[in-house]
Structure 1
Amino acid sequence: MEDNSLVSVIVVTYNQHDSIARTLDSILMQKCRLPIEIVVGDDASTDGTRAVCEDYVRRYPHIVRLMPAAPNKGVVDNYFDCLLACRGKYIADCAGDDYWIDPMKLDKEVEIMETDPLVTIVHTNWRIYNESTHETKDNDVVQFPARKTDGKLMLEAIVTQTVTPVVHLCTALYRAETIKRCYDANIDLFRNKDIGCEDLQIVFMLALNGKVAYLPDVTMTYSTGKPSVSNQSNHVKRFRFVRQTAMLSWRLANLAGIDTEQTRWFFSLRVYELLMHAFRSGDAKLKAIALECMSIWNVKPDKRIKTAMAVMSNAVLWNVMLGVRGAFVAIKRLLSLF
């Protein structure tokens, strides 16, 4: 049952023993007018992450709830199991390798939500921290900087985002009732095993159903530089992620009847990306899947796509070009040493 005096914070984590305490501490430091609960979903970690979470449950039994141990679910099922377990009127989340840096983050967002019932989600700016180089920089790409925006005006941008999210969900607070209603109306949009992510459809559906509020305050540190679902060096895995997220974008665009020059460019770009990952992996089956996606997304091949298709149409030429690419990469690495 929903508690109208409570804020729920979702923390999904997997093998983040070195960072999960930092994440939980950043949430516990919040000075919010409403009490908070932290719903932690550990996805069968093997590095001791769960033991750290269990320690926080012992220390903060009235705040931290750890979801029951279960076989590995994947990020999508893990997230939505946590979401359905949330009891709060509002929901926020912070990934197990990210952390909040403003102790008033939740309170500022709650104030906006409480004063304007038409706002379905409020978000903030963030900074980026590279775990490998230890470099930090503020995000400088904010597509909708207005204090409040009609969410429908943001749908095209949300569907076609490529590098920087229009709304970084780990900075956001959103209405539990709105997203749970959307979830119940179309569970497959959220739970489909082939969608690859959990945040895109949440942000899209919240924008579709109300106003989006924005605070320019930098409230969250987004950690990069380590392998993740969206940051893979393996071309087969990267192919799978690009296809899954693009397929979700296609479903969302169709849901809202969005077919514009921008969306057509986006899906053309995604087809080219898929072909490049297929090329680099040397996998003809991936090429076939990429061409299938081109048909589904109604993409008319441009020069780049036609060139990629031509190179991969002949096995000998494909292997020769892979060799050329390998030599180029080796030379580039060698030159970087001097």
Structure 2
Amino acid sequence: MEDKISVIVTTYNQEDTIGRTLNSILAQKCHLPIEIIIGEDCSTDNTRSVCKDYAQRYPHIIRLMPKAENKGIQNNYYDCLLECKGKYIADCAGDDFWIDDKKLEKEVCIMEEDPSVTLVHTNWQYYDEKTQKTKRTPFTPSAAYKKSGKNLLEAIVTQTKAPVIHTCTSLYRAETIRKCYFEDPELFRNKDYGCEDLQLTFMLAMKGTVVYIPDVTLSYSVGHNSITFQPNERRQFLFVRQTTSLSYHLARKYNIDTPRTKEFFSEKVFALYMHSFRSKDKTLRDEAYKYRKTWNVVENKKIKVARLIMSNNLIWNSALLSRKLFCTLKLFTQLFK
């Protein structure tokens, strides 16, 4: 590994934003050199052409991965990771962008000073693509910290509305994550887990010290469809089921069994039931029941009521109609406030 920083950029159908992402990385002011590894995942738009143009303009910095069939986020990310030559790795998704040109410098100085630090991350903000307005996230801590990563493991496996550690704000040690990867590649490559970041941050936290910087360094793009913002109930069901399966695997393997984890898996089972309820899909309802058993969740009142409603078609249809009427009335009330 070379004394440099490798930045992974995964992108798919982001012709309008990938240039902004790459420009924000190229603008970094850091005492270490950087390389950018672009994983363009067989886009159907003009994304690859934009990436090719950047690779030709910055051949000493940017490497575009060879064109291949669509891999999915996990294989795309970890194929890029294995190509990284740097001692440190960062990443920035193809629709997000860094807003602090000293982001990498701040993080790498901390890592160079303390070999026990496996990951440094920062605060971030939402960026609405439609309105171009920003909004601070309420989910990240406000004060800087430096702590054993093991103190974050429960929070990582039970994260819900936002990640405890946003990887697009992070810098981590290549040697540490490579060792974890080769010890258990299935953890990182299993497509049934549906994401690439939760297992990465979990393992890095388990292996050392984590440092948080409260500076906002990233604009996280929202206001469009993405892996975590799916308009389809069936897709949302799949995303919840996949990521929760990963959390359950990690919690069980590393003996994280607390009141919070029990509550978390119960919440996720209820979420599965609600997605199946709104989609009027009996197959999803039965799958929700199966995962309640798989995740060892005790049926609480909310889950029981949801299951009973969906056990009878007449009641199910009536409940859906009532929900539709309620949502319509709520919208009507808001419009005429």
TM bucket by the smaller chain?
over 0.9
| 2:152 corresponding residue in structure 1 | 154
| 2:218 corresponding residue in structure 1 | 220
* 1:62 partnered with 2:51: no
| 1:249 corresponding residue in structure 2 | 247
Deviations 1:123-181 (A, max 9, x none): 01111111123221222333484431100011000110111211110000000010011
| 2:183 corresponding residue in structure 1 | 185
| 2:117 corresponding residue in structure 1 | 119
Tell me the distance in 1 between the aligned counterparts of 2:200 and 2:268.
21
| 1:272 corresponding residue in structure 2 | 270
Secondary structure of the 2:147 match is strand
Tell me the distance in 2 between the aligned counterparts of 1:131 and 1:180.
34
* 1:19 partnered with 2:22: no
Tell me the distance in 1 between the aligned counterparts of 2:259 and 2:130.
38
- Could you tell me which runs of 5 or more consecutive residues in structure 2 were left unpaired when the two chains were aligned: none
Tell me the distance in 2 between the aligned counterparts of 1:215 and 1:79.
25
* 1:40 partnered with 2:38: yes
| 1:31 corresponding residue in structure 2 | 29
* 1:203 partnered with 2:201: yes
Amino acid at match of 1:6: K
Secondary structure of the 2:296 match is coil
TM-score normalised to the size of structure 2?
Answer: 0.97
| 1:134 corresponding residue in structure 2 | 132
Farther-moved stretch of structure 1 (67-76 vs 257-266): 67-76
* Alpha-carbon contact 2:141-2:214 (below 8 Å) kept: no
Amino acid at match of 1:238: Q
Secondary structure of the 1:194 match is helix
Deviations 1:240-273 (A, max 9, x none): 0000000000011112100000000000000000
Shift of 1:52: 0.4
Shift of 1:220: 0.9
Farther-moved stretch of structure 1 (84-93 vs 315-324): 315-324
Secondary structure of the 1:167 match is coil
* 1:171 partnered with 2:169: yes
Amino acid at match of 2:221: S
Shift of 1:335: 4.0
* 1:290 partnered with 2:309: no
Secondary structure of the 1:22 match is helix
Q: Measured at CA, do residues 253 and 334 of structure 1 come closer, stay the same or move farther in structure 2, by a change above 3 Å?
A: same
Tell me the distance in 2 between the aligned counterparts of 1:302 and 1:144.
34
Tell me the distance in 1 between the aligned counterparts of 2:229 and 2:65.
26
| 2:317 corresponding residue in structure 1 | 319
Aligned-residue sequence identity (percent) comes to 57
Amino acid at match of 1:194: D
Q: CA RMSD in A?
A: 1.2
TM-score normalised to the size of structure 1?
Answer: 0.97
Shift of 1:329: 2.6
Tell me the distance in 2 between the aligned counterparts of 1:297 and 1:207.
24
Deviations 1:81-124 (A, max 9, x none): 11111111000000001100111110111101111110000001
Amino acid at match of 1:170: C
Secondary structure of the 2:66 match is coil
Tell me the distance in 1 between the aligned counterparts of 2:326 and 2:109.
55
Tell me the distance in 1 between the aligned counterparts of 2:109 and 2:335.
53
Tell me the distance in 2 between the aligned counterparts of 1:261 and 1:336.
38
| 2:84 corresponding residue in structure 1 | 86
Farther-moved stretch of structure 1 (146-155 vs 270-279): 146-155
Shift of 1:327: 2.6
Secondary structure of the 2:42 match is coil
Tell me the distance in 2 between the aligned counterparts of 1:144 and 1:210.
22
- Could you tell me which runs of 5 or more consecutive residues in structure 1 were left unpaired when the two chains were aligned: none
